Structure 1
């Protein structure tokens, strides 16, 4: 019997420093998030970051926390329930970090008689610290606890026509009645070395402004290329002018080269340039979370307007939109009926 495992990032159980600390510890101690030797990662995470970060992160979570719980978890649960209603096989939800573990979700499927699982990492683009870590963790859990199940993984869907259509139409709805003079596609940031580490050729990815436009097998695992490709496809679908579109990358750690330009620097730049209407989209996420609701919707607006900018609008993620639900349900049914996966 077939079943589906949906996996997203995760969340602390509550917006308190007590619950945020173990969540951040699990997240930041992941070797695919901070990819340095374990002894150094221990010093950076447990010796430095976790001494102050939990309190600050808890305060940020408190700003966006819903009555029902973490927005990311609540939205993901709503999405899962809707998908389940549109497919004939069991669907379970797990998180890479936190108490809603992948192991629990797989056990839920096993208990329903599932012996063949479609893993759906809820990340459009491939990155070591998102898509890859979900796949590796799921394989580790499978090998250790459920060796008899067969596992198939949905590929990154950043350029899939059905995904691009839904994303584009959600953006068009967000732009309706908003007088913008610029649209910023803000993607999650990663260290530049992650791009090079993920390059199967070990020579193509130079991050020089040309490699992402030069065809290569490296693009199948190049996060930067896939971010540009998603943006270009949305731009083409909506007929958006080149001079009103740009890309940036949010989140970074100090003393380390990360993908540029940085989103917060762009907010300040656009404000100083006197942009009268800035719309911001976050296509690295399919569900709104701390990074979109607090870092972009709140802090971004403040940074932009304090620098002299005008109106500001954060366009929500796909969340549990019915058309997005229908696309994922279709992918599941195609896999169930024909063993086919989206291209």
Structure 2
């Protein structure tokens, strides 16, 4: 079999115009694994309310962070793709779950190059319904409908890979070593609490109190986003020798009124600023590529909140983006898969 690699990230509007942003938001928010309510209710919420109120504001936010080359997330993902391609012997394609760089196009690109066996690598260190799972499901649907002869190999969440933790820790340490800071926030993208329960393959072991996240060996941890975020923080803190009380885990980007994972990033920034914290650093390990949620929500809105509450220095640590050592981690995933496949044959 001829092997190929498909890297998949979230996606982006084609431009920061309200029209393109509305189109993108419509596809993204109508995904049943993003807003997991019945279709009728989701349609009323998304098409009847959100798409009539949010695109203009979201477009303004995208305009603040848009690069001359295009969407930062797309540009950075393309740079990573190029570096991974240089390190592996198989064709590497890039696709997005939402937007015009579709997964179907990515699969077709590899098929056109003769690939019959494809490893998909969602560019999310932690598993979540709204990220990894929706990619896996979409790939399965496309293969069944358009590529029935393709063999697909999935990539599990890589939050606990030693080489990933080493690279993430190194990237954070490079900033912290030259920084006088009082506290570092590990801010992960938020998800509704019900997503954690729905992903609990043990049907009820998840206590949603934070304690079970640290009981190692539980089966539900394979698909528990909260556990994987908490353990990412723990492993990095250990690697960097961070002292207790100088770091914490928070969750950003809420939507709607249902309970989401806590503590919330914006409220934590506000609380710590009010409490007298003057120098804060923040890193976003749920994202491998800088995007709207890191460049605008955190680096702009977060800093504004901190300063309004009396904070002085607010340092945002970049995502891994197209670092050479992160590209090496992805390439190693490919090599491990190819070697295992060869031994199996």
Q: TM-score, normalised by structure 2?
A: 0.97
| 1:293 matched residue in structure 2 | 295
Show the 5 A alignment for 1:173-192: 173-192=174-193
Distance 1:57 1:142 in 2: 33
Secondary structure of the equivalent of 2:245?
helix
1:47-68 per-residue CA deviation (whole Å, 9 max, x = no partner) reads 1101011101000000000000
Contact residue 280 and residue 313 of structure 1 kept, 8 A: yes
Show the 5 A alignment for 1:20-169: 20-169=21-170
TM-superposed CA distance for 1:330, in Å, is 1.6
Secondary structure of the equivalent of 1:313?
strand
TM-superposed CA distance for 1:23, in Å, is 0.4
Contact residue 274 and residue 310 of structure 1 kept, 8 A: no
Distance 1:203 1:310 in 2: 44
TM-superposed CA distance for 1:339, in Å, is 3.0
Distance 1:26 1:143 in 2: 21
TM-superposed CA distance for 1:276, in Å, is 1.9
1:19-77 per-residue CA deviation (whole Å, 9 max, x = no partner) reads 00110000000000000000000000001101011101000000000000000000000
Q: When the two structures are aligned, how many residues end up with a matched partner?
A: 340
| 1:263 matched residue in structure 2 | 265
| 2:277 matched residue in structure 1 | 275
Q: TM-score, normalised by structure 1?
A: 0.98
Distance 1:84 1:115 in 2: 18
Contact residue 271 and residue 308 of structure 1 kept, 8 A: yes
Show the 5 A alignment for 1:233-272: 233-272=235-274
Unaligned runs of 5+ in 2: none
Contact residue 278 and residue 310 of structure 2 kept, 8 A: no
TM-superposed CA distance for 1:336, in Å, is 1.5
TM-superposed CA distance for 1:188, in Å, is 0.2
Unaligned runs of 5+ in 1: none
TM-superposed CA distance for 1:214, in Å, is 2.4
| 1:212 matched residue in structure 2 | 213
Secondary structure of the equivalent of 1:173?
helix
1:254-279 per-residue CA deviation (whole Å, 9 max, x = no partner) reads 32011111110011011111212100
| 2:334 matched residue in structure 1 | 332
Contact residue 249 and residue 261 of structure 1 kept, 8 A: yes
The alignment's C-alpha RMSD in Å is: 0.9
Distance 1:169 1:211 in 2: 28
Secondary structure of the equivalent of 2:54?
helix
| 1:312 matched residue in structure 2 | 314
TM-superposed CA distance for 1:246, in Å, is 0.5
1:106-127 per-residue CA deviation (whole Å, 9 max, x = no partner) reads 0000000000000000000010
